[in-house]
Structure 1
């Protein structure tokens, strides 16, 4: 792998003496990025990262509130920390992130187990909160900010491979989808200075990383204003891709109402902008989309798909889908299935509707679709997506792709895996190739989840 070892070392956790910090991360890619920011902040205060929970002086759990199941997993995990607390009286346990913002009172009431609660905009305050908790006072800071982006903080990279990294370009969300808790837990949308984003991407490339993913709740609405000059997402995307042709660039997530032709034309012009777009539909029914406050119709969504097909004919598409939203009928569900068939998604994240407290849906709509109906509809969606994924992968058999090698196959040390520009996983014989290199691979076989190839 071609990289500067000293540059890579600067991005990795520090070793040496100091209180030991253990972090568990749940939820989205944004939370992974946030955990790296948290470690950077606490390293400055003398903490040192550990992967061993049994040697930790501080345990932080970075949480997600998008679905009830995610919160229940964290609550169950907190109970498992009791033995560590008994063995080490000075051990501090903190809950950070979206769940901290939403459930601060409940968390502080949990049998004196949680010492610190910190929302997504209060990570700079963690050193003070930890000192306060160490003195015996339980600590809370869940204030939301209109300005905080952690722009100048260089994240400490926790990935294992040194190939792919996340870069947060904005925080918060203004869309107010009726089912979604994110605007309440992460606050209003604000964009990060593009100069800091470019600097971070350049540092990653110089350290040997060959792929970055630009993150935001809605990257299409990224906008930085300064001195009368405005930078939108298309310009930012072009600038990051311009760092080096060997740096692959991805982004997530796109809101259909804001995906512009300008972004698509930038992608078509830059070969290192990956041919994969995640475009959450949530439902194929215009009636459902209106109830969800998605601000587009089925027809608008399909118009964006048509633009992608026209401008980027080799682009892969993935989506998010919700089964059983309030008042959803069999006809609405069939609209979702027909949308899936019409688009032919390569991949999808698929969920049963989970009512989140204080959202518009929770306040104004009845969660009236029985759970067994939600489950049956979700099963149909999953089964159809498995078919669509297999069909898409079969179309790739016989084709040749450039694959960025990310690691060794779990099944055999003699095989490597990586991803195509279309974000499909490919497994192939190792040969003389190494992690972090590009390889030309011809696809010989597939499953619904994986392409099998031979090295050329």
Structure 2
């Protein structure tokens, strides 16, 4: 989550830090900046999830100012929203744009003086943003929700993104149709907390109801995937769709954060260990063979070796396959930052052990798919390059025989597996 992605498009360059939502928004902002008259600039989209993400963004800005003196640097994102004056003071920064305004054309008008960063907590609307291209992406990303109303003790994102607000379903359907018309075979629904979709809309639709209507109204969409879900907020309609709808991919990524009850309580998460285990078991029952991913934090304040061991055990007991692991990072002003902290080297050591458990879980999943291939099962793959892509379960797959067009969906026969994923040939 603290990594970055660069998009070089001539003299207007984009550097995006953090989550996939940031990545997708960066494309929309690049286009807004172009139309606003920023012919030559560096756009930096910051992240506030970890101190490392902020450090990397500051370092990138200082390097850009040193290597390209005179090139305007435009800064936005969650870290900039939280402390705009600090980012405005960095060398080369000509404009800081808040999260509430960054997807509006007015904010990028180069002829107008920079506006002050507005209060994102006062935001009440979210617009649909369809991203169909970023660094060669083969799938389209569609923002359906923005912001968060929860207050996990480790997280500053609600204060950087504002309250939860949903995109009207009509706009979501329109954008999904546009993606299919542009040739995309898979759409990913994204947001900060997409499981909280709907209560602010007329009729208060749930995420499951929105997904069912989207699939019904866009029958030409072959594949739909969901970004991270809070297991405590998965609604009954979404569970039914998981069982009934083959176009909804057999892959869930759960926002879990830990596997020990005391740590979950101190994080102020809405689920318990038993609740998370029940969600994983229900997913496997409704969709046999489903792939399960999870976000997990190692080294949370007061975490003992026993608490950490419970999380390691949880990975196996829940049947998780793909882990996003982060060492805990203090965020100023959060309740967790005032708790007794673990030494940073211990956090990193536990994160490394947790990542190793995730690697072993993924390799086991790949071997399971290989065994099913030996029984005649083929994989359906969305190709992201001539020789690689991801399966319906979001397992990475590399072609060792044959190749295909970027963005194509094809059948592949798995021949082997290694630590990086599946090895296959075109079926």
Provide the TM-score with structure 1 as the length reference: 0.85
Is the 1:402–1:438 Cα contact (8 Å) retained in structure 2?
no
Task: Give deviations 1:47-72, integer Å, cap 9, x for gaps.
Answer: 5xxxxxxxx62211011110000000
Matches within 5 A, 1:366-385: 366-367=340-341, 369-385=342-358
Structure-2 separation of matches of 1:157 and 1:436? 11
**Are the structure 2 counterparts of residues 266 and 157 from structure 1 closer, same or farther at C-alpha, using a change threshold of 3 Å?**
closer
Residue 116 of structure 1 aligns with which residue?
A: 95
**Are the structure 2 counterparts of residues 248 and 106 from structure 1 closer, same or farther at C-alpha, using a change threshold of 3 Å?**
same
Is the 1:39–1:156 Cα contact (8 Å) retained in structure 2?
no
Q: Which structure's CA Rg is the greater one?
A: 1
Residue 237 of structure 1 aligns with which residue?
A: 211
**Are the structure 2 counterparts of residues 150 and 379 from structure 1 closer, same or farther at C-alpha, using a change threshold of 3 Å?**
same
* Number of residue pairs the alignment of both structures matches: 412
Is the 2:142–2:175 Cα contact (8 Å) retained in structure 1?
yes
**Is 1:141 the equivalent of 2:112?**
no
**Is 1:431 the equivalent of 2:402?**
yes
Structure-2 separation of matches of 1:162 and 1:324? 33
Structure-1 separation of matches of 2:213 and 2:320? 29
Is the 1:40–1:155 Cα contact (8 Å) retained in structure 2?
no
Residue 27 of structure 2 aligns with which residue?
A: 36
**Are the structure 2 counterparts of residues 286 and 256 from structure 1 closer, same or farther at C-alpha, using a change threshold of 3 Å?**
same
Task: Give deviations 1:195-240, integer Å, cap 9, x for gaps.
Answer: 111100100101100111101222111105555x332111111223
Matches within 5 A, 1:59-138: 59-86=42-69, 89=70, 91-111=71-91, 113-123=92-102, 124=104, 125-128=106-109, 130-132=110-112
Structure-1 separation of matches of 2:381 and 2:219? 15
Q: CA deviation at 1:117?
A: 0.9
**Are the structure 2 counterparts of residues 245 and 402 from structure 1 closer, same or farther at C-alpha, using a change threshold of 3 Å?**
farther
Structure-1 separation of matches of 2:247 and 2:198? 22
Structure-1 separation of matches of 2:395 and 2:201? 38
Matches within 5 A, 1:91-240: 91-111=71-91, 113-123=92-102, 124=104, 125-128=106-109, 130-132=110-112, 140-144=116-120, 145-151=122-128, 155=130, 157-161=132-136, 163-223=138-198, 229-240=203-214
Structure-2 separation of matches of 1:437 and 1:101? 39
Structure-1 separation of matches of 2:281 and 2:54? 37
Structure 1: state its 5+ residue gaps.
Answer: 1-12, 48-55, 410-415
Q: CA deviation at 1:403?
A: 2.5
Most deviating of 302-311 and 234-243: 234-243
Structure-2 separation of matches of 1:261 and 1:177? 24
Structure-2 separation of matches of 1:336 and 1:158? 37
**Are the structure 2 counterparts of residues 396 and 172 from structure 1 closer, same or farther at C-alpha, using a change threshold of 3 Å?**
same
Is the 1:27–1:63 Cα contact (8 Å) retained in structure 2?
yes
Provide the TM-score with structure 2 as the length reference: 0.90
**Root-mean-square deviation (CA), in Å?**
2.2
Q: CA deviation at 1:438?
A: 2.2
